[in-house]
Structure 1
């Protein structure tokens, strides 16, 4: 059994409303014919060459990614351009590309924030920002959730996707050792004031910048926990695969990509430089 690409897109947009996306974002169908049949869907974080190869090799009719392929104005997709080459490869293989980005961050129950909170075992979610019915207004960003103890924070290191080197720490945080977190979750350093207003003890996010972290340490507020960007978003991937298979009554087989596409592949450890290999 199969569904049309249009039916798959409709199912995805029912879960990840495009109206929840930021104005600057680029979400939705990037390429593909809505009338074409789709029997297999691959879900991943990044639309990069390794993932496109996986989609083509496994016969996927649609690749769903969290990160957009294009975020700035595009005036052409020549095959000698790295991103244009991916579009040509997908089109030649009859595989579409769909993006759910900031709308997936904010989606209720099956969004990126909720997926990460779920693997940490957190309960009582509520958005740090209010929802809005359409683009142009405040949207629900981040999640405030209750953690039973600091052990929930440590679970983030054990329940994220495989790292290149399992001895490499999965996160970093300033503050005293042994600090306990009562509330946890966030989406970006810009939500630090909202997290403080919500009474959060910990803001868990990615890509925090040096100066805001330094300044935050000089004032009362949540402790900050910075985890790898890719690792914080990967838990959403199998969630999408599961709900898409269910929502389309098994007419498509949706699977989670196991390709590790974190661009940070080298780190310095006790034994000197160590270059990462592929994920198992």
Structure 2
């Protein structure tokens, strides 16, 4: 980017797509510039996980020119963008507010570095390789790495809870609380489709989000299966926002970039459950 002219939406998109190549996105995904004029100038940027209404309002309130999110606004086909529907209303609000919207989703999941590298950094895990490598093996979803000092599953669970933003879902683990954890597999976002890869990797624990009952219990029944740490989907991907901010700062140091702290996790109340024995 040349300092002689204002940074444009196209400039910001080019920097982000160099870091998160669209070719890495899954064929069902919808990534890239969703709303906005590539020629429009950019001075302020807001980065968030979800383009939900409260984040759109935050971008407008902050006078941002560009909103960068991990999750797409229009992942599935739509037939109308009337303001009577939430997504249509968001598009109208963005356009009226002069805010462009850019998304890096599964391409950011697979990039090197990407979503899972940001999660690994937050947890103090030194990355060795992808959990599900693609192409030359340096890109792919998930990561495998190590802790500098082994610790119990109980302490590792506390580490995860301390490192990620608080949610009603919280952090929970499955396995012997005193099991020694050194080798770690992790994947930001929903990752129970890769439980078999975590087992094959010979790690001590697998950290991901949205674990379901049957895949989790079937996994734990396997001999030598790694322990599990389950976190909220939004929390597991929030560290990526700071990574994306760093990408833009390197490309255009004078941009004003803010990472949203608006909690867009779906769950709002958490309460331990209990039952009286019959």
Q: How does the TM-score come out when normalised to structure 2?
A: 0.88
How far apart in 1 are the matches of 2:8 and 2:25? Answer: 24
Distance 2:127 2:135 in 1: 21
RMSD: 2.0
**After TM superposition, what 4+ stretches of structure 1 lie above 3 angstroms from structure 2?**
none
Deviation at 1:201, TM superposition (A): 1.3
- The whole-number CA distance in structure 1 between the counterparts of 2:98 and 2:33 is 14
Alignment of 1:46-125 (within 5 A): 46-109=50-113, 111-125=114-128
Deviations 1:21-43 (CA, angstroms, capped at 9, x unpaired): 11111111101000110101100
Contact 2:157 2:172 in 1 (8 A): no
Partner of 2:271: 268
Contact kept, 8 Å, 2:208 with 2:230, in 1: the verdict is yes
How far 1:98 sits from its partner (Å)? 0.6
Asked if 1 retains the 8 angstrom alpha-carbon contact of 2:120 and 2:186, the reply is: no
SS in 2 for 1:37: coil
Say which is worse superposed, 232-241 or 85-94, in terms of deviation: 232-241
Give 1:275's aligned residue.
Answer: none
Offset at 1:218? 1.2
Unaligned runs of 5+ in 2: 274-278
Helix, strand or coil: the match of 1:130? strand
Residues 92-117 of structure 1: CA distance to partner in whole angstroms, max 9, x if unpaired?
111011111111111112x1100110
Contact 2:20 2:107 in 1 (8 A): yes
The answer to whether the 8 Å contact 1:3/1:251 transfers is no
Matches within 5 A, 1:176-215: 176-187=176-187, 188-215=191-218
Q: CA deviation at 1:152?
A: 4.3
The structure where strand makes up a greater share of residues is 2
Which 5+ residue runs of structure 1 have no aligned equivalent? 134-138, 271-280
- Measured after TM superposition, the shift of residue 211 of structure 1 is 0.5
User: How many Å apart are 1:242 and its aligned residue?
Assistant: 2.2
Aligned partners of 1:185 and 1:202 also within 8 Å: yes
- Partner SS for 2:257: strand
Aligned residues: 261
Q: Which moved more, 1:202-211 or 1:68-77?
A: 68-77
Distance 2:132 2:272 in 1: 39
- Alignment check: 8 A CA contact 1:242 1:254 kept: no
Q: Distance in 1 between matches of 2:127 and 2:51?
A: 33
User: TM-score, normalization: structure 1?
Assistant: 0.88
SS of corresponding position for 2:101: strand
Aligned to 1:255: 258
What is aligned with 1:45?
A: 49
Contact persistence 1:22–1:102 (CA under 8 A): yes
Query: Deviations along 1:209-260, whole A, 9 cap, x unmatched?
Result: 1111111121122111111111111111122112211222x24222101111
